[in-house]
Amino acid sequence: MKTRQKTLLTLLAVAISGIMQSAHAETVLRRGNGSEPKTIDPQIAEGMPEANIMLDLFEGLTTRDGAANIIPGVAEKWDISADGKTYTFHLRHTTWSDGTPLTAADVVYAWQRDVDPAAGGKYGFLLYPVKNAQAIAEGEIKDLSQLGIKALDEYTVQVELEASTPYFLDMLTHASTAPVPQHIVEKHGKAWIRPENIVSNGAYKMTAWQPNAHITLAKSDTYWDKDTVKIDQVIYYPTEDKNTEIKRYRAGELDMTYEIPNDQIKMLREKFKDELKISSYLGTYYYGFNVTRPPFKDNLKLREALTLAIDRDVITDKVTGVGEKPAYSFVPPGINGYDHYTPEYASLDKAARIEKAKKLYEEAGYGKDKPLKVDLLYNTSENHKKIAVAVAAMWKQNLGVQTNLTNQEWKVFLNTRNEKKQTEAFRAGWIGDYNDAYSFLELFQSKSGLNDSGYVNEKFDALLAQAGQEQDMGKRAAILKDAEKMLTDDYPVAPVYSYVTKRLVKPYVKGYAEENVMDHRSSKYMWIEK
């Protein structure tokens, strides 16, 4: 009997141990993430594969909840002056992932770094509402301390704006404004983002980065809100081939995809109805024309002809087919307090539009005997390839254009596009950094580091500057609409459609908000229920 009791007690102990181990088992979220990130330095990064990871690693003064609403981040509260030009942020008493206190000096350092021309960032223009930011970014002021931000004490940051800026708190959710650890950046230089060096302040910290394989994050035990974080480990898998990503999802290797191939939508609707998530997204898919070199430099009619020759209805109905809306101007629908500009050609029927395109094409100096030969660049992706093939076919059929399609992997593509030395026409997409028309139009400021078309128009710049100073929201919207009309009529880009997000999410992944126009999907707000 004693032996039997001993055996039963042993079995019971093993069972209890198993239950306890299960209760404490790490939860892992495996996310597809498109392309291999170029960098995850908040002030340097520029693409969505980078942004997704940085949402988990870094937190700015403000942040967004699971439904993309603006909430306090590093700053637990703030005061705004009566004239709307001075913001005083009160920081949480929190630390970096290495235990070092995060102070106001780190915030000041990051913002100075953001606008410093020598740092090489692309998003310094986001801080242009801040006093002297634009003058510093453009090299007119060399002293970074003249930027309108200062540390009043270790945990208080004061920001002085050029003018009241209604979207300022919204803008601060962008990764480029997040604090970075000055002691680490200055110690390691560009190598500070390597797994062995990186220090972060978000819900997660990086533990591994194997290029073209995976990036692994672990729940941070120093994060101020760690008790609400339910997922212990997040693994990002860069997979440029969307069909491969679908295979990994179906094999159980991914819990959610980054994107899905358009040609599989019908099958996925049938087999994964409850797992297919399609949501509105504040972004524009477009083709850019490099206006700094031939054939598009000083040839407005050619740019207009190619823009009119794109049949957007065919692309959104037959090529993408997920709910995207044809786009004829750059600012997408859904912007708070803004009615975007619609050009005249949008109301023409297909035949009239093509006829006008042909006329412009001939007036630009091209025709059957002298066809345009143009290179069209896109980053490696089956979806981008299908759209590029469709656009090239439209240009060929409607105008006789001979298009050479070139694809490059993400990091090379970004560099090529930005340098403007080789590109003629190129694929691009722009996602709103905040919910305001200015977030789209500021891309084309003459000195914007992300103005890959090389568009320069002093009148356009002046309108944006005027909008930045206008306090009447109705008048401001009208000024921005005038700017959008000017941009549209100059044709540095050809908008194609307004985005939707489309991905597969396993049923056991909870906290994925389907209505999230910013598509900010922090792992912090998700959990696993199996």
> Which pLDDT tens digit goes with each residue over 406-454?
999 998 999 999 999 999 999 999 988 888 999 999 999 998 888 999 9
At 8 the pLDDT is 44
pLDDT given at position 166: 85
- Answer for the pair 382, 241: CB distance below 8 angstroms, yes or no: yes
Residue 141: what pLDDT?
A: 97
List the Cα angle 431/433/437 in 5-degree steps.
85
Are both 509 and 468 inside the same structural domain? no
Does any domain span residue 271? no
Q: Do residue 418 and residue 520 come from a single domain?
A: no
Question: Residue 323 has what pLDDT?
Answer: 86
3-state secondary structure 188-233: HHHHHHCCCCCCCCCCEEEEEEECCCEEEEEECCCCCCHHHCCCCE
On whether residue 35 sits in a domain, the answer given is yes
Contacts with 83 (C-beta within 8 Å, 6 or more apart), sequence order = 164
Q: Do 512 and 415 have their domain in common?
A: no
CA dihedral over 185, 187, 193, 198, signed as positive or negative? negative
Please tell me the chain's helix, strand, coil percentages from 3-state DSSP, rounded to the nearest 5: 40, 20, 40
The CATH number covering residue 137 comes to 3.90.76.10
User: Tokens standing for 159?
Assistant: 């920001």
Instruction: Read off the CATH number of the domain in which 438 is found.
Output: 3.10.105.10
243 is a domain residue: no
Cβ partners under 8 Å of residue 13, min gap 6:
none
Residue 519 lies in a domain: yes
Establish if 257 belongs to a structural domain. Answer: no
Q: What is the mean pLDDT of each run of 10 residues along the chain (530 residues)?
A: 45 42 73 94 92 97 91 98 96 98 98 95 91 95 98 98 91 96 97 97 98 97 97 96 93 95 87 91 96 97 98 95 92 87 95 98 96 96 93 98 96 94 96 89 92 97 90 91 98 96 96 87 95
523 and 481, same structural domain? no
* pTM for the predicted model, two decimal places: 0.80
pLDDT at 24: 52
- Give burial (CB, 10 Å; 0-12/13-18/19+) of 525: buried
Q: What is the DSSP letter of 155?
A: T
Residue at 344 is within a domain: yes
Cα three-residue angle 518-73-280, rounded to 5 degrees:
10
Domain of 60, in residue numbers: 29-224+505-528
Give the C-alpha separation, 469 to 487, whole Å. Answer: 20
- 365 with 482, same domain: the answer is yes
DSSP 238-282: --S-HHHHHHHHHTTS-SB-S---GGGHHHHHHHSTTTEEEEEEE
The pLDDT tens digits of the residues spanning 201-224 come to: 999 999 999 999 999 999 999 999
Same domain, 452 and 519: no
Domain count of the chain? 2
Is residue 11 situated within a structural domain? no
Confirm whether 245 is domain-assigned. no
Q: How far apart are CA 50 and CA 79, in angstroms?
A: 31
Distinct helix (H) and strand (E) counts, the chain: 16, 18
Say what the pLDDT of residue 1 is: 44
Q: Does residue 475 sit in the same domain as residue 337?
A: yes
Whether residue 292 sits in one domain with residue 212: no
Assess whether 510 and 491 both reside in one domain. no
Q: Which of 260, 341, 328, 279 is nearest to 518 (CA)?
A: 279
**Residue 166 shares a structural domain with residue 108:** yes
How far is Cα 135 from Cα 147, in angstroms, rounded to an integer?
A: 9
Looking at the structure, tell me whether residues 367 and 399 fall in a common domain. yes
Residue-level pLDDT at 15: 44
**E strands present in 62-142:** 62-64, 70-72, 75-80, 86-91
Same domain flag for 197 and 294: no
